[in-house]
Amino acid sequence: MKKHPHYGHVIKSRVSSALWQAIIERCQRTGETPDHVIQSALAVELDITHHTLFQVSTSTALVQGIYNGCMTVAEIKKHGDFGLGTFDELDGEGIMLDGEVWHAKSDGSVAMAAESELAPFWATTTFVPQVSCTLSAVSSWDDLCHQLDKLRSSQNIFTSICIKGVFKHIQYRVACKAEQGTDLVSATNNQAVFELNDCSGTLVGFWTPAYAKTLNVPGYHLHLLSDDKRSGGHVLSLSADNLELMLAEETDFKIALPESVEFLQADLSIDPSEALAKAEGAK
């Protein structure tokens, strides 16, 4: 057995002819790789949750202004303990950490989300870090992205990201409540922007491959939750030293689509990249 420089261990082991034949037949039937089948089987046998990213709705639907909540916080919690999203009518930013869901609001306050609150968009996973290291210095958002790029093993796999530490400076925004049908760029033109110095907290989020841009925000998407649970939102810029970083590849992807009239009749064939870049970036 030897350790892969980025993710886990490589194991050489003998399996019976019957097991190998069953693995090959499964791969032919489903399109999975032998590695994926074996890891899935081991995870089930050892009672370890497989790396699955569960998502509610799509980024393209958000761009089109489909903000009606379609899944409760209670239901989302059944699918993971870590993630981010937003709430009914784009009312603020959602942060999920250690199984708790927090609602950052445009007035700057943060409260634990009620089980009955609805989300129009959410991404969650059971976070099991595969890579842990320290980022000795981060000078900007672009610098953070550059350092994270070096640690990811593939441009084609969703990656969950958890970063803990004291941020010398951090700027973040919180979306303001918007009417159904207001496109995302227009809605976030009224976002509330906040800045903090010497903020102790955690960044929660994901890196999404470019090919999945119609599903989730391509590239890096991180939300802040301060340790005192008094501040939180969508990260725009930051600087810090000695940050604790944890990454995990999410090799399974599951999505729950809304059944609302707005979603069913929407034109989701557009390329949302430009609108997402405007909405997610600093104004």
**Residue with the two structure tokens 């202004």:** 65
The strand pair at 52-56 and 252-256 is best described as parallel
Q: How many CA atoms lie within 13 A of 31 on its CB side?
A: 1
**What distance in Å separates the CA atoms of residue 257 and residue 79, rounded to the nearest whole number?**
15
**What distance in Å separates the CA atoms of residue 26 and residue 121, rounded to the nearest whole number?**
33
pLDDT for 46 equals 66
**What distance in Å separates the CA atoms of residue 109 and residue 248, rounded to the nearest whole number?**
30
Do residues 68 and 117 make contact, with C-beta atoms less than 8 angstroms apart? Answer: no
**What distance in Å separates the CA atoms of residue 169 and residue 195, rounded to the nearest whole number?**
7
For residue 195, the surrounding DSSP H or E stretch is: strand 192-208
Domain 53-280: which CATH number of 3.20.20.150, 3.30.1330.80, 3.30.310.10, 3.20.20.70: 3.30.1330.80
- Residue 112 is encoded by which pair of tokens? 């634990």
**What distance in Å separates the CA atoms of residue 152 and residue 160, rounded to the nearest whole number?**
10
- Residue 20 is encoded by which pair of tokens? 């190998």
**What distance in Å separates the CA atoms of residue 144 and residue 248, rounded to the nearest whole number?**
17
pLDDT for 61 equals 93
**Residue with the two structure tokens 């937003």:** 86
Alpha helices, H only, 154-235: 184-188
**What distance in Å separates the CA atoms of residue 161 and residue 148, rounded to the nearest whole number?**
9
pLDDT for 277 equals 87
User: For 257, phi and psi rounded to 5 degrees?
Assistant: -100, 140
Q: Note down pLDDT in tens along the chain; length 283 residues.
A: 444 444 457 778 888 999 999 999 988 886 777 887 887 777 777 655 557 899 999 999 999 999 999 999 999 999 999 999 999 999 999 999 999 999 999 999 999 999 999 999 999 999 989 899 999 999 999 999 999 999 999 999 999 999 999 999 999 999 999 887 888 888 888 789 999 999 999 999 999 999 999 999 999 999 999 999 999 999 999 999 999 999 999 988 999 999 999 999 998 988 898 888 888 775 4
Do residues 114 and 242 make contact, with C-beta atoms less than 8 angstroms apart? Answer: no
Nearest to 59 by CA among 221, 203, 243: 221
Nearest to 55 by CA among 247, 209, 252: 252
pLDDT for 15 equals 87
| 228 DSSP assignment | T
pLDDT for 31 equals 72
pLDDT for 152 equals 95
pLDDT for 1 equals 47
Do residues 226 and 180 make contact, with C-beta atoms less than 8 angstroms apart? Answer: no
